[in-house]
Amino acid sequence: MPVKFRSGENIPLEMHKARMVQNLNLLPVEDRVKASQEAGNNTFLLKNRDVFLDMLTDSGVNAMSQAQFAAMMNADDSYAGSETFYRLEEAIKEVFSTPFFLPAHQGRACENIICQTFIKPGQSVLMNYHFTTTKAHIMRNGGKVVEIVRKEGLEVTSDLPFKGDLDIGRLRREIETTGAANIAFLRIEAGTNLIGGQPVSMANMREAVNIAKSAGILTIFDASLLSDNLYFIKQREKEFSGTNKSIKDITLELGKMFDISYFSARKLGCVRGGGIITNREDLYNAMIGLVPLYEGFLTYGGMSVREMEALAVGLRESLDFHIIEQTPIFVEALVKELLGANIPVVTPAGGLGCHVNAFAFCDHLPQSQYRAGSLAVAAFFAGGFRGMERGTISEERNADGSERYAEMELLRLALPKRVFTLSQIKYVADRLVWLYENRNLIGGLRFTFEPKILRFFFGRLEPVSDWPQKLAQKFRKDFGDSL
C-alpha cells in the first residue's frame, strides 16, 4: 500500500537508500550547445560525459539491487547446460507459470525471432500501438502494422486510467474484414511506450485475447514495460485495487493468457538481456532454431550468465509493490510540477517517464521542422538533461519518400527506477518552466544525414537558424553565471 503524509502532500518516497553513487557533470550552457552541435543535434549521439541527467531511456539503466549484484557472483559460465540458466528458468516459472523459455540479448532480438517465425508477406499484425523496432521488424518481414488503440490513447490530455487499451469494436471489425488467415498475430504492448507510457487494463487484455483466440489468431504480449503496468493495474483497476489480489496473481494470469510473451530485461528485471516465454511446446519448437543462429546457445542466448543470475532476482523483485512503484510515483511528481506551471504534458501520468507535448510547446514551428526533436535539443541547452524525441523523427518515411508525420510529438523524459532524486526532478521542472517562458526562441531542425532505417538512432540534424546561440544568450542573461 502507498505511504501517506500527514500534511496531505503527495510526495514520492524512496523505498531504498543509496549505497553507491556516480558523480555527475553539468556543463556551462555554451558548452552544451557545442556538444549538441558535435552530436548532430541528436540526443542519442551525445557523449554521456556531456550529459548531466540522462533521461533518454530506462533501458539498461535502472538501478540494480544489492541482491542482484550478489547473485551475479554465483554465475555458472558453462557454454551449455549452465545452472544459471536453470535458476532463471525456475524464476520465470514462478513469476509467469510458463514452462518454455528462450533467452535473447534484448527485446528487439526477441522481436526478430518472433517476426521471422510467424509473419508471412502481406499479413497484418494487429496491436494497440507500435514500438519503433517492432514496426521495423514487422515491415522487414513483409508484414503490415495495424494499430487499434482506443481513440483516447492519442489524446494528450485525458483522465482515462488505461489509455493503452485496444478498441474492442475495431478489433472485431479488423478480424472480420481482413480475415484471420491474413493476420499473423495480435500484439499487446504493456505500458504503451510511444503514447506516453500508458497502461493496458487486465479487463481489456482478457477481452481482446479471447476474441483473437476464438478466431484462431496467435496472441503475443510485449511485457517489457510490465512493471509499470502492474502498478497501474493494482492502483487503478477496481478488480485489483484495494483487494487482496497480489501482483503475482496478475503476472500468473498474464503468463497463462497469452500464447507468447517476450520482454527486454533492460526494462523488466533491470539488467541487460531479454527472453521469450510460452505455454505451448509447438511455438517453442518453431522458434528454437533461430536462437543459436542469432543469439547463442539455448542456455545463454547472447546474455552474460551474470546478467542472467541478476535477472532471476529482478523478476522476483518485480512482484514487490514498493519496487515497481518507484518509476510511476516519480513520473507523477514531475507531471504535477509541470502542470502547475501550465506546461503541456501527457495525462494522466503514465509509466516510463514524463512526456512533454511538443505539439503545443513548440506550436510556432511547422511539423516539418521536427517539433519534438527541436524541444529535445532545447531542453538539453536549458538544463543539461537528455530526453528522447518521440515524434516524427522516430517515424519512417512513406514509400514515396514523403514525411510520415507522427500522431503525437513528444519529448520523453525517462525516469529509470531508483536513479534520480526529488531535487533533481525539481531541477528539471525548473529549467523546463524557464524554457516554456522562452519557447518562441526555439527553432526547427533539418536533416544533414538521414538513414533509411531507424533514423532517430543515428541521424544528424542542424538548426534552421542561429536559434541555439540566441537561446544560450537568453539563458546567460537570466541565470548569470549559473550552470
- Summarised one tens digit per residue, pLDDT across range 428-483 is 999 999 999 999 999 999 999 999 999 999 999 999 999 999 999 999 999 999 99
Task: Give the active site residue among 118, 129, 131, 262.
Answer: 131
Residue 131 falls in the annotated catalytic set: yes
Grid cell in block for residue 328? 510511476
Distances (CA, A) of 361 to 197, 411, 441: 19, 10, 12
Task: Give the active site residue among 299, 456, 474, 475.
Answer: 456
Distances (CA, A) of 440 to 156, 436, 437: 21, 8, 8
Q: Count, in order, helices (H) and strands (E) of the chain.
A: 19, 14
Read off the pLDDT band of 286 (50, 70, 90): very high
Residue 222 falls in the annotated catalytic set: yes
Helix (H, G, I), strand (E, B) or coil at 302: coil
Q: Rounded to an integer, what distance in angstroms lies between the CA atom of residue 454 and that of residue 451?
A: 7
Grid cell in block for residue 455? 533514423
Is the pLDDT at 1 greater than 70? The verdict is: no
With beta carbons less than 8 A apart as the criterion, state whether 425 and 330 touch: yes
Q: Which residues pair with 192 in a beta bridge?
A: 198
Residue 157 falls in the annotated catalytic set: no
Tens digit of each residue's pLDDT (9 = 90 or more) over 232-270: 999 999 999 988 999 999 999 999 999 999 999 999 999
Tens digit of each residue's pLDDT (9 = 90 or more) over 298-347: 999 999 999 999 999 999 999 999 999 999 999 999 999 999 999 999 99
Grid cell in block for residue 101? 523459455
Mean pLDDT, rounded, for 414-440: 97
Residue that has been written with the C-alpha cell 531535487 in this structure:
423
Q: Rounded to an integer, what distance in angstroms lies between the CA atom of residue 208 and that of residue 213?
A: 9
Read off the pLDDT band of 406 (50, 70, 90): very high
Please list, in sequence order, all residues whose beta carbon lies within 8 angstroms of the beta carbon of residue 200, skipping any fewer than 6 positions away: 128, 162, 164, 165, 166, 188, 189, 190, 191, 192, 229
Is the pLDDT at 166 greater than 90? The verdict is: yes
Whole-number average pLDDT of the chain? 96
Is the pLDDT at 424 greater than 80? The verdict is: yes
279: enclosing H helix or E strand: none
Mean pLDDT, rounded, for 122-130: 97
Percent of the chain residues topping a pLDDT of 70: 100
Residue 49 falls in the annotated catalytic set: no
Please list, in sequence order, all residues whose beta carbon lies within 8 angstroms of the beta carbon of residue 119, skipping any fewer than 6 positions away: 125, 138, 141, 142, 143, 184, 185
Own/partner long-range contacts of 165-170 (Cβ < 8 Å, ≥24 apart): 165/128, 165/200, 165/201, 165/204, 166/128, 166/200, 166/204, 166/208, 168/204, 168/207, 168/208, 168/211
DSSP for residue 363: T
By residue count, the chain amounts to 483
- Residue 9: what pLDDT? 85
- Residue 4: what pLDDT? 85
Is the pLDDT at 173 greater than 70? The verdict is: yes
In order of their start, the domains of the chain are 29-58+323-479 (3.90.1150.10), 66-319 (3.40.640.10)
With beta carbons less than 8 A apart as the criterion, state whether 294 and 276 touch: no
Residue 258 falls in the annotated catalytic set: no
Residue 481 falls in the annotated catalytic set: no
Q: For the beta carbon of residue 216, count every other beta carbon within 10 angstroms.
A: 10
Read off the pLDDT band of 42 (50, 70, 90): very high
- Residue 464: what pLDDT? 98
Task: Give the active site residue among 222, 240, 327, 412.
Answer: 222
Task: Give the active site residue among 4, 77, 79, 478.
Answer: 79
Read off the pLDDT band of 11 (50, 70, 90): confident
Q: Rounded to an integer, what distance in angstroms lies between the CA atom of residue 467 and that of residue 253?
A: 52
- Residue 239: what pLDDT? 96
Q: Rounded to an integer, what distance in angstroms lies between the CA atom of residue 336 and that of residue 346?
A: 11
Residue 436 falls in the annotated catalytic set: no
Q: Rounded to an integer, what distance in angstroms lies between the CA atom of residue 99 and that of residue 93?
A: 6
Task: Give the active site residue among 267, 272, 455, 474.
Answer: 267
Task: Give the active site residue among 44, 93, 117, 132.
Answer: 132
